[in-house]
């Protein structure tokens, strides 16, 4: 199949696709005629206003397509979409565990204190996963990869999905309607961003949590109401947070979250660019193979649901 890539051209991706027999057509201000699929690695502002009729599908290098949905590009019609759902489950799960352990082991306290004086506070306040109930909210590809990692430390795991389907390895599998915010010591949010999940962690849900609760967000920034979370951390309404994704991004350098001792912020690096560039071509090739056969693509986006 003939394809183009925009707005950035990654040699690794082009090489992976051409090695599998696909033909690269350079993007020069417009999607070239005859192009059959697009590998897209930009934001909604970068997406072409018009496409040739020959384009059958678009593959994105990210899992979250909410920006494209909001801009009106993902809608029922001829054009199909595939994304990176599950492609980075291992890397994001590992980063989640690192962020979670950084919070429970109070690494920020040790670093910011910069002396042995941190010992007494850490002795009294460090947390342990083997004593914890962890709720993984959004147990899709990434969430399902997180489950065995925290289970290995002896945690009890509640897996929460839209449908409540059984998640392998979890102690409980619940729907979002069944889940109670005060049932977990640690809440890890990794759901897609939709109108139903926007600000799911908000003033109301934070008030329902234990005052010892820890919130970890590695899904999408707007899953968490940043202002409400900041207030909850400052007032002691919850104990701590670890955040790799935020709203807004980038988080301003003068934002109070950077200075709170009970919050660790990382700059959206749960998955890194070298991994993305290495894996995108392989995922796009799998989508192209299925598309040519008239099959559903492995990571085809349900346009109606927005993920």
Active site residue: 249, 278, 292, 295, which one? Answer: 249
Closest CA to 46 of 2, 89, 6: 6
The structure tokens 């994704």 sit at 245
Catalytic one among 108, 220, 279, 300?
220
Give the distance, in angstroms, between the CA of residue 8 and the centroid of all CA atoms in the same chain: 21
User: In terms of residues, how long is the chain?
Assistant: 307
Cα 91 from chain centre: 11
**H helix or E strand, kind and range, residue 197:** none
Give the residue from 91, 181, 101 showing the smallest Cα distance to 141.
91
CA distance linking residue 197 with residue 204, whole number of Å: 14
Largest CA distance in the chain: 68
DSSP letters spanning 12-32? HHHHHHHHTT-EE---SSSPP
- Cα separation, 230 vs 266, whole angstroms: 16
User: Is 166 an annotated catalytic residue?
Assistant: no
Whether 108 is catalytic: no
**Alpha-carbon gap, residue 73 to 81, rounded angstroms:** 10
**Is-catalytic flag, 249?**
yes
Active-site residue identified among 20, 199, 255, 268:
268
- Asked if 223 and 171 count as a contact pair (C-beta separation under 8 A), the reply is no
Backbone torsion region of residue 92, taken as left when φ is above 0, otherwise alpha when ψ lies between -120 and 50, otherwise beta:
alpha
- The 8-class DSSP code of residue 252 comes to P
Residue 158 to residue 183: CA distance in whole angstroms: 9
Task: Kindly list the catalytic residues.
Answer: 220, 249, 268
């Amino acid at each position: 199949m003939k394809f183009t890539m925009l707005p950035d051209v990654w040699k690794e991706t082009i090489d992976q696709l051409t090695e599998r027999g696909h033909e690269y057509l350079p993007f020069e201000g417009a999607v070239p005629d005859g192009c059959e699929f697009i590998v897209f690695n930009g934001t909604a502002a970068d997406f072409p206003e018009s496409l040739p009729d020959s384009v059958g599908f678009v593959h994105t290098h990210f899992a979250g397509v909410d920006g494209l949905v909001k801009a009106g590009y993902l809608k029922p019609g001829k054009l199909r979409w595939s994304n990176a759902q599950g492609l980075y489950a291992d890397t994001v799960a590992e980063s989640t565990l690192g962020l979670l352990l950084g919070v429970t082991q109070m690494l920020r306290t040790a670093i910011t204190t910069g002396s042995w004086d941190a010992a007494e506070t850490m002795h009294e306040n460090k947390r342990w996963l083997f004593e914890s109930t962890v709720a993984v909210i959004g147990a899709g590809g990434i969430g399902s990869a997180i489950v065995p990692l925290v289970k290995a430390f002896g945690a009890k795991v509640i897996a929460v999905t839209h449908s409540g389907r059984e998640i392998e390895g979890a102690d409980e599998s619940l729907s979002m309607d069944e889940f109670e915010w005060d049932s977990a010591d640690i809440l890890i949010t990794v759901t897609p961003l939709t109108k139903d999940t926007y600000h799911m962690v908000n003033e109301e849900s934070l008030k329902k949590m234990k005052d010892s609760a820890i919130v970890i967000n590695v899904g999408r920034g707007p899953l968490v109401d940043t202002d409400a979370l900041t207030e909850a951390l400052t007032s002691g309404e919850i104990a701590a947070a670890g955040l790799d994704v935020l709203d807004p991004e980038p988080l301003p350098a003068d934002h109070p979250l950077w200075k709170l001792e009970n919050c660790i912020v990382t700059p959206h690096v749960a998955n890194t660019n070298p991994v993305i560039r290495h894996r995108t071509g392989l995922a796009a090739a799998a989508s192209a193979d299925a598309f040519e056969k008239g099959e559903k693509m492995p990571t085809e986006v349900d346009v109606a649901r927005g993920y």
